[in-house]
Amino acid sequence: MSTRPGLEIAVVSPAGARTAREHGADRVELCTGLELGGLTPSTAAVEAAVESGPPVHVLVRCRPGDFVYDGEEVALMAAEVRAALRAGARGVVVGALTPDGALDTSALATLAGAARDTDPAAQVTLHRAVDQASDPVAAVAALPGLGITRVLTSGGAPTAIEGSAVLTAMAAAAPGTDVAAGGGVRPGDIAGLLTAGAGSVHLSAKTRATPRRAAGWVPLGAGGTSAEDDTHFVTDGAVVAAARRALDAAAGGEGHAPG
């Protein structure tokens, strides 16, 4: 029996988790540094999001940049996996590649093992490192053997809707693996992504927060090019609600009970 497609929203705060829940998300992926592609949030943030939102899956990524990690970084992320699950997360979202673009199966086995040892029921998702793999479809085909049951992917393209054909090939390559379409997803894309074989959809539904400062401004880092741009992202409930409506319509109008 098929499972109703789920709606996951990437959020960066407990407030974002709460907004996602109130507007129809089935679960959230919690991270920080969304403008960097997402980094591991603090344990306190995980605990607060678990209390205020729907089921929480935590992105575990110890730094921005490529997905080729040394042993110290893998050990750190294994510790972050354990901390996230002990804080109440239902799952973790991880990824690692070798320099030539293959899955780093040793690193992934360590991370998935840390999850299973901490909470045997936790879901482990491969994140969008797969979109930088040399062969994304072959990478997905290898996931069941690693105990990874879900992949978040744009099909190796800049946006998921552009990668639809690869999403279809991924779903065929790993039956039973939830291919979650993510990457530039808009509510209007959702029907097409489900048709392509996506088992769930993921979007950030983000908008820039209005800066609260009233005093002067000076740049504090590489991303601060102006006072207007030096802000953070928040979750837009209207976008979450539009995605919920689009998903329910595409899946046959089954409806959704938030929370």
Give the pLDDT score at 165. 98
Give the pLDDT score at 253. 52
Give the pLDDT score at 255. 46
Q: Exposed (0-12), middle (13-18) or buried (19+): which is 238, by Cβ within 10 Å? A: exposed
**The CA-based dihedral angle spanning residues 63, 171, 29, 224, taken in that order and rounded to the nearest 10 degrees:** 50
Give the separation between CA 147 and CA 97, rounded to whole angstroms.
17
- Phi then psi for residue 51, to 5 deg, are -70, -30
Give the separation between CA 84 and CA 187, rounded to whole angstroms.
30
Q: For each successive 10 residues of the chain (259 residues), what is the average pLDDT?
A: 81 97 97 94 98 94 97 98 98 98 97 98 97 97 94 98 98 95 97 97 93 82 73 93 96 52
182 secondary structure, DSSP code: E
Give the pLDDT score at 35. 87
Q: Give the 3-state secondary structure percentages of the chain, helix then strand then coil, rounded to 5.
A: 40, 15, 45
Q: Exposed (0-12), middle (13-18) or buried (19+): which is 92, by Cβ within 10 Å? A: buried
Cα–Cα nearest to 91, from 126, 125, 63, 118: 125
Give the pLDDT score at 216. 84
What secondary structure does DSSP assign to 16-45, as a single string? Answer: HHHHHHHTT-SEEEE-B-GGGT-BPPPHHH
What secondary structure does DSSP assign to 211-249, as a single string? Answer: P---S-----STT-SSTTTS--EEE-HHHHHHHHHHHHH
For helices 43-52 and 71-86, what crossing angle results, to 10°?
A: 30
- Quick: pLDDT tens for 154-163: 999 999 999 9
Q: Which amino acid is at 207?
A: T
Cα–Cα nearest to 251, from 201, 203, 185, 205: 201
